[in-house]
């Protein structure tokens, strides 16, 4: 997977971070004239530079650690040969379980086999050679978030290794139109993402689901956030050093200036104002405003000098639905880090909003049963 960087001499920078994309980069297309009515000058030719950006091999390998217990997990315990000994125990916030005569046993971070051994050792104080069976009845400590345009979105327990394809199957796959005359895809695969610890993982959902490219089928970790947005959304996103970050409905002929103007809720101000009447925070750096377009794993990024546009030294930039506008509070020193900052800010904001919405609703539990010591395994 290759990245392409295009640099323009008139305050315009285009970056394509990976292979080919069908999305056109934003360009200053004559939609703006200066304050005296004079048309802005055209952009200069571009120079092309290539770098690389690929899915790391370790993402395609399952995690070596196996399931361990944590607060919220519920297990069933039975002393073999003593039917009346069967009971359930929930690991408390302190990581302990309580069973019959035993005082609280700390099992946080233990595997089921280690927990069984601990119980047998403690019960040996009261019984001769006790044999214990443990069954995991409910997972309350480890989940993956599968949200968006899926047939069964929700927060799912994770009891073992799970690939991205397996997780999507668990959530019923991506949603399609219910029309009898159309099978229109309702999921926007170009903007779908996996977030881990606040960082975007470079997974191309389109290549995985439409082209069968298994090099994109990564293994998930607990707390990974998988989000599939709607293909029907017509929005632009304004983030960074603006007073009112927002998701704005896209309208025809929308431009960078009009989108930023709307972020303050009014267009009746000096477009370069730094006081309370303006759209920008006091430390906004307007010479490196970014517009991100296309796939999150294959984005086209345009860096523009907003001040030059307002002063009539460069043309305004027409927008498309799905564009992300980012106003920095300092000049970039490394292009790749700047692009990563923008995309991670975007996915972090989306994940926070969608996660709050999902956690506030009711999510149907998915029952699991992973016995240890009883000779059988059911699921």
Residue 39: pLDDT over 60: no
**Residue 152 vs residue 313, higher pLDDT:** 152
Torsion of CA 334, 338, 340, 341, to 10 degrees: 130
Distance CA(322)–CA(293), nearest Å, equals 7
Taking the CB of residue 90, how many other CB atoms lie within 10 A of it?
14
Residue 343 token pair: 């995309």
Beta bridge partners of 165: none
Distance CA(252)–CA(248), nearest Å, equals 12
Residue 67: pLDDT over 70: yes
Q: Tell me the pTM.
A: 0.74
Model pLDDT for residues 330-340, shown as the tens digit of each residue = 988 888 888 88
At 222, give phi and psi (nearest 5°): -55, 140
Domains identified in the chain and CATH numbers: 2-57+233-358 (no CATH), 74-140 (3.30.1950.10), 155-231 (3.10.560.10)
Instruction: Kindly state the average pLDDT of the residues 23-37.
Output: 43
Residue 105: pLDDT over 60: yes
Distance CA(109)–CA(68), nearest Å, equals 5
pLDDT of residue 130: 94
pLDDT of residue 177: 61
- pLDDT band of residue 263 (cuts 50, 70, 90) is low
Distance CA(140)–CA(97), nearest Å, equals 14
3-state secondary structure of 339: helix
pLDDT of residue 377: 37
| Closest residue by Cα to residue 13 from 333, 328, 301, 319 | 301
Q: How would you classify the pairing of strands 143-148 and 225-228?
A: parallel
Residue 197 token pair: 């610890």
Q: Mean pLDDT, the chain, as a whole number?
A: 78
Contact 300, 21 (CB under 8 A): yes
pLDDT of residue 5: 43
Distance CA(2)–CA(35), nearest Å, equals 41
Q: How would you classify the pairing of strands 46-52 and 2-8?
A: antiparallel
Q: Range with the lowest mean pLDDT among 98-112, 144-158, 159-173, 286-300?
A: 286-300
């Amino acid at each position: 997977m290759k990245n392409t960087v295009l640099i323009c001499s008139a305050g315009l920078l285009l970056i394509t971070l990976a292979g080919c994309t069908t999305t056109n980069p934003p360009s200053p297309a004559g939609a703006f004239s200066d304050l005296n009515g004079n048309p802005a000058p055209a952009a200069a030719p571009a120079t092309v530079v290539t770098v690389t950006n690929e899915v790391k091999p370790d993402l395609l390998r399952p995690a070596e650690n196996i399931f361990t217990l944590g607060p919220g997990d519920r297990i069933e315990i039975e002393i073999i040969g003593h039917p009346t000994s069967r009971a359930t125990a929930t690991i408390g916030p302190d990581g302990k379980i309580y069973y019959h005569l035993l005082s609280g046993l700390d099992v946080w971070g233990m595997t089921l086999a280690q927990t069984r051994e601990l119980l047998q050792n403690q019960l040996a104080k009261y019984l001769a050679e006790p044999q214990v069976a443990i069954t995991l009845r409910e997972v309350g400590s480890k989940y993956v978030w599968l949200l968006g345009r899926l047939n069964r979105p929700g927060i799912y327990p994770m009891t073992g290794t799970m690939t991205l394809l397996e997780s999507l199957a668990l959530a019923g796959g991506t949603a399609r139109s219910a029309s009898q005359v159309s099978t229109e895809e309702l999921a926007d695969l170009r903007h779908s993402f996996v977030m881990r610890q606040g960082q975007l993982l470079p997974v191309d959902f389109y290549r995985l689901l439409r082209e069968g490219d298994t090099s994109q089928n990564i293994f998930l970790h607990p707390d990974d956030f998988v989000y599939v947005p709607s293909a029907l959304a017509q929005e632009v996103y304004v983030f960074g050093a603006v007073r009112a970050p927002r998701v704005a409905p896209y309208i025809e002929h929308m431009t960078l200036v009009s989108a930023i103007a709307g972020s303050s809720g009014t267009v009746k101000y000096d477009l370069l104002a730094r006081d309370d009447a303006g759209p920008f925070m006091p430390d906004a750096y307007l010479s490196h405003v970014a517009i991100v377009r296309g796939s999150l794993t294959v984005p086209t990024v345009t860096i523009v000098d907003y001040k030059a546009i307002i002063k009539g030294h460069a043309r305004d930039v027409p927008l498309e639905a799905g564009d992300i506008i980012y106003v920095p509070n300092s000049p970039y020193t490394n292009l790749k880090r700047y692009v990563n900052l923008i995309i991670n800010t975007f996915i972090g904001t989306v994940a926070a909003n969608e996660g709050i919405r999902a956690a506030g609703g009711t999510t149907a539990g998915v029952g699991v049963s992973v016995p240890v010591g009883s000779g059988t395994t059911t699921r």
